[in-house]
């Protein structure tokens, strides 16, 4: 590993032989916007590959934004190239149709001959391996503020070609106000979680409310794609199994969370091929997967990636991996949780048929503030009736009529109330 200045990095990048190199970089809360500014100034044309890009990533003519999971900085951009893929399969892209020429990592400063990828490992190890195999360039942007995490996050310095030290404040999502709907959903989800279960939850109002409602549980484990401050709160309240390691692929949260994971031997940040492999997920004890969606329909199908009308909003992410894995876990369950009504759009999230492609199906149960619809194993008529029971009251009559037109339920059958 040779340490250079940002100016030296720019000169190196500008001398790349590729006409349109593919640059893979850290995403989510680990995106280093200052480092990407150096990349953008050095390259006239390039393809920028990262997951869930924040606002502020380069977006101009000459930049193609490639991603399997669209973030705020990529959404609706004219240079967006959305690549549909389950997160567990994204690493395969680097050895196939989307090989990396440059990998720009956001890391810690060196320690004992290693750096750490800190708060995001995810798809990066696969990108590093493929870049090195094809003579590409691996760059570590070293940040003293990045916490040193263990597992696949630890990278020997001899696997890095160039390093540049660029301090950068790690972003933290704002604190969300707890609303009554999210809390009601969180309470219902928490009631379905047994003691000793293994959890996967994302980030957002409903996962936050669910974690807050688990305070009376005991011996919970965490095997997840990502986590935030709600897991730290469970640790402080003695809810987590002290004998089990907390496993994730990336994380985002408060400065307190970043300080807690720094050199914490109980936390392992692993590559996507491990955390999102359905067969590995299935081996976890009573795996309980909690995900959300934009829509669910009378067939208990979910749309979690596209807006009504079909434009891409996010992507598959890891939800499909965890849904499959949880359903194959002994005592496992895959829960889909969402509000029954979208207040900003003024529309029901429970619809006759989802708009656009189906993201996932065959969940164990669907949860809204209206109740819980146990759908797995039911006939299509029983599933439709259960879905009607968790829809908002103002649309139930219309949905019941739609279910009857489709032959899902007989005329005169009223929906079962969500329990």
* Rounded CA separation 83/90 (Å): 9
Residue carrying the six token digits 């990407």:
36
Choosing from 66, 120, 225, 369, the catalytic residue is 225
- Considering only CA atoms, which of 383, 343, 364 is closest in space to residue 290? 364
Quick check: is 225 catalytic?
yes
**End-to-end C-alpha distance for the chain, whole angstroms:** 59
Instruction: Say if CB 58 and CB 80 are below 8 A apart.
Output: no
Catalytic residues: 225
């Amino acid at each position: 590993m040779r340490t250079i200045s940002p100016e030296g990095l720019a000169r190196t990048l500008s001398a790349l032989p590729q006409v349109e190199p593919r640059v893979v970089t850290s995403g989510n809360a680990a995106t280093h916007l200052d480092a990407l500014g150096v990349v953008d100034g050095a390259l006239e044309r390039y393809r920028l590959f990262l997951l869930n890009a924040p606002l502020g990533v380069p977006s101009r003519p000459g930049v193609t934004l490639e991603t399997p999971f669209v973030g705020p900085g990529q959404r609706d951009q004219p240079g967006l190239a959305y690549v549909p893929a389950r997160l567990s399969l994204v690493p395969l892209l680097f050895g196939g149709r989307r090989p990396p020429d440059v990998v720009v990592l956001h890391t810690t400063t060196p320690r004992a001959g290693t750096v750490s990828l800190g708060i995001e490992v995810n798809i990066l190890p696969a990108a590093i391996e493929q870049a090195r195999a094809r003579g590409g360039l691996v760059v570590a942007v070293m940040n003293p503020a990045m916490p040193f995490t263990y597992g696949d996050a630890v990278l020997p310095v001899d696997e890095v070609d160039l390093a540049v030290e660029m301090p950068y404040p790690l972003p933290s999502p704002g604190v969300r106000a707890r609303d009554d709907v999210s809390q009601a959903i969180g309470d219902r989800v928490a009631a379905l979680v047994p003691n000793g279960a293994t959890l996967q939850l994302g980030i957002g109002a409903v996962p936050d409310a669910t974690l807050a409602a688990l305070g009376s549980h005991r011996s919970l484990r965490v095997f997840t794609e990502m986590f935030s401050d709600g897991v730290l709160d469970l640790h402080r309240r003695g809810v987590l199994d002290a004998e089990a390691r907390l496993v994730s692929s990336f994380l985002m949260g408060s400065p307190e969370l970043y300080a807690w994971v720094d050199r914490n031997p109980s936390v392992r940040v692993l590559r996507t091929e491990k955390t999102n492999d359905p067969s590995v997920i299935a081996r976890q004890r009573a795996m309980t997967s909690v995900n959300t969606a934009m829509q669910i329909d009378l067939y208990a199908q979910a749309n979690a990636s596209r807006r009504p009308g079909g434009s891409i909003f996010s992507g598959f992410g890891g939800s499909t991996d965890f849904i499959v894995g949880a359903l194959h876990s002994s005592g496992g369950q895959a829960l889909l949780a969402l509000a029954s009504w979208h207040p900003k759009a003024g529309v029901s999230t429970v619809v006759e048929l989802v708009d656009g492609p189906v993201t996932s199906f065959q969940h164990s149960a669907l949860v809204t503030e209206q109740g819980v619809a146990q759908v797995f194993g039911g006939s299509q008529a029983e599933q439709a009736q259960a879905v009607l029971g968790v829809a908002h009251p103002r649309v139930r009559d219309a949905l019941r009529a739609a279910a009857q037109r489709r032959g899902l339920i007989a005329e005169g059958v009223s929906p079962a109330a969500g329990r």
